[in-house]
Amino acid sequence: MKSKELIGQIIDFDYKGMGMTKLDDIPVFLDKGVIGDKVSYTITKDKKSFYKGRVTKILKKSKDRVESPCKYFNKCGGCDFLNYKYEKSLDWKKQSVNNKLQRISELDIKVSKVNSSEKTFNYRNNMQFQVKNGKIGLYMKNSKEIVPIEHCLMQSTNANKTLKILTKFKNLEKIKTLGIRTNYKDQVMLIISSKEKINKLNLILGNLIDANVVSIYENINNRTNAHYGDEFNLLYGQEYLEEKINKLYYKLSPASFFQVNREQAENLYNKAMEFLQVKENEKIADLYSGVGTLSLEIASRKAQTLGVEIVEEAIEDARINAQKNKLQARFICGKSEEILEKIQKDEKIKMDKILVDPPRKGMNKNLVDYLNKNSYEKIVYISCNPATLARDLKILKEKYKVEKVEIFDLFPYTSHVETVALLSKLDVDKHINIEIELDELDLTSAESKATYAQIKEYVWNKFELKVPTLYIAQIKRKCGIELREHYNKSKKEKQIIPQCTPEKEEAIMDALRHFKMIE
């Protein structure tokens, strides 16, 4: 079967942005293609519950296919949709977010608006290039191999000038990573990461200045799983870059987190302020506040502002940014739920509204529970991971109503998306919880016979995720699928049972649908 030529039409993308067709109702995940393409392909792997395949020829191009402007596309792992109409990629992102929201949060809520990016090229203000065997580049798709890169369409003019100069430098053996950061003035900060100190920087310094490089850092990094180590040494120029959002200015250090698409981040933050409806002297907390970008937007509207962040360096930068902009805001380092509880208990201060912008793993469970316990007038939730957003909304719906969800495309031509949700406090006197039993699923015995091993194999081959039997059982039970009595139960009274993560829940649900165990 592996050598047989087959024909199919691409009907969807997987979570990595790769094309998918079906063979006898079994998914086939292909190495390329866009929705609507008719292709010939061969099977490269038979995983029983699905196949992997390689496209040999595009027989009929999709009406939504375009010519990629990038010569590295399909080799470099940076972009997913450069050969797909931009507006169609937005449609797919909307559908993907809607699916996650409805499936995981179990809320009848859909994305109300998709905000496209005005700049779809040259929008990135921060990139890290890998160095291997004297070549500078980006990782191949699904690989640790390097694609040599001399020019990236996603970064600015001066960032590309810097990259081109660096590719001509011969002594790269000791360098692991080259970071190129830019700001609204297109000034460049270069971060050279290596296992030991750099000695021959002067050979390229003159040319780098021509590319508007105003700051050069060396970073000592002996880690194998991170772009940078902890030690940064200024070799040349300015200590930090200045960045701008709306009318506010921010200090940008080598390792500072800042949204990579500045113009679209500005639109996202303005929407967050619109959702918050900030009033003068209101008490508003910005949780996961980072260097204070959103906190200072709130403070500029004359609200009493609290920023809470677990990273001490970010708190220090936030305080500097507040001084820089002559704004009053309070920043505290610590866990959000603990800080909120402490100031409420010790200072008798309770926040009116909450803004959260957590990392990909979503909010800490203790924080979600705390927000439910101390219901606030509004919560505005900014998320870079729809799955963890949906997970948290599922819990928060006990005390809050999800009013609106909008998408902001901060990462054009990739499968990534940023989402902002508005939640308002439920009127408990008018709100009734209704529990619906799932008997209507009415599963037949034939539809329920996929084994745990088959489900595990499907999830691993499609998503490259390992899911234990416990997680599968949890999701089966959640879907109303009857489980056999477990006769080997733990005798511990207070055992701690790990709970399935949103990402793995989504993958298991996909498997259950594939095996027709749920619709």
- Quick: pLDDT tens for 321-371: 999 999 999 999 999 999 999 999 999 999 999 999 999 999 999 999 999
Tell me: is residue 439 an annotated ligand-binding position.
no
| 383 three-class SS | strand
495 or 19, higher pLDDT:
19
User: What does the alpha-carbon distance between residue 190 and residue 181 come to, in Å, rounded to a whole number?
Assistant: 7
Tell me: is residue 288 an annotated ligand-binding position.
yes
Across 24-33, 54-63, 154-163, 261-270, least confident range: 24-33
The pLDDT mean for the chain works out to: 88
Position 286 scores a pLDDT of 98
Nearest 5°: the CA angle 241, 247, 251 is: 20
Task: Name the amino acid, one letter, at 296.
Answer: L
User: What does the alpha-carbon distance between residue 370 and residue 381 come to, in Å, rounded to a whole number?
Assistant: 15
Say if CB 33 and CB 58 are below 8 A apart.
Answer: yes
Nearest 5°: the CA angle 332, 325, 301 is: 80
Give tens-digit pLDDT for 171-201. Answer: 787 889 999 999 999 999 999 998 777 665 6
Radius of gyration of the chain (CA): 25
Spell out the residues 6+ positions from residue 8 whose beta carbon is closer than 8 angstroms to its own.
Answer: 21, 22, 23, 28, 38, 39, 41
Residue 478, pLDDT > 90, answer no
For 46, other C-beta atoms within 10 Å of its C-beta total 14
Tell me: is residue 259 an annotated ligand-binding position.
yes
Which of 303, 397, 394, 403 shows the shortest CA–CA distance to 352? 303
Whether the full predicted model's pTM is greater than 0.75, yes or no, is yes
User: What does the alpha-carbon distance between residue 216 and residue 365 come to, in Å, rounded to a whole number?
Assistant: 40
Residue found by looking up tokens 């797919």 in the block? 92
Point out the residues that are catalytic.
384
Per-residue exposure over 365-374, b if at least 16 CB sit within 10 Å of its own CB, e if not: eebbebbeee
Residue found by looking up tokens 């997970």 in the block? 391
Tell me: is residue 376 an annotated ligand-binding position.
no
Per-residue exposure over 190-211, b if at least 16 CB sit within 10 Å of its own CB, e if not: bbbbbeeebeebeebeebbeeb
For 48, other C-beta atoms within 10 Å of its C-beta total 10
Residue 438, pLDDT > 50, answer no
Say if CB 150 and CB 162 are below 8 A apart.
Answer: no
All structural domains of the chain: 5-65 (2.40.50.140), 126-245 (2.40.50.1070), 260-425 (3.40.50.150), 440-514 (no CATH)
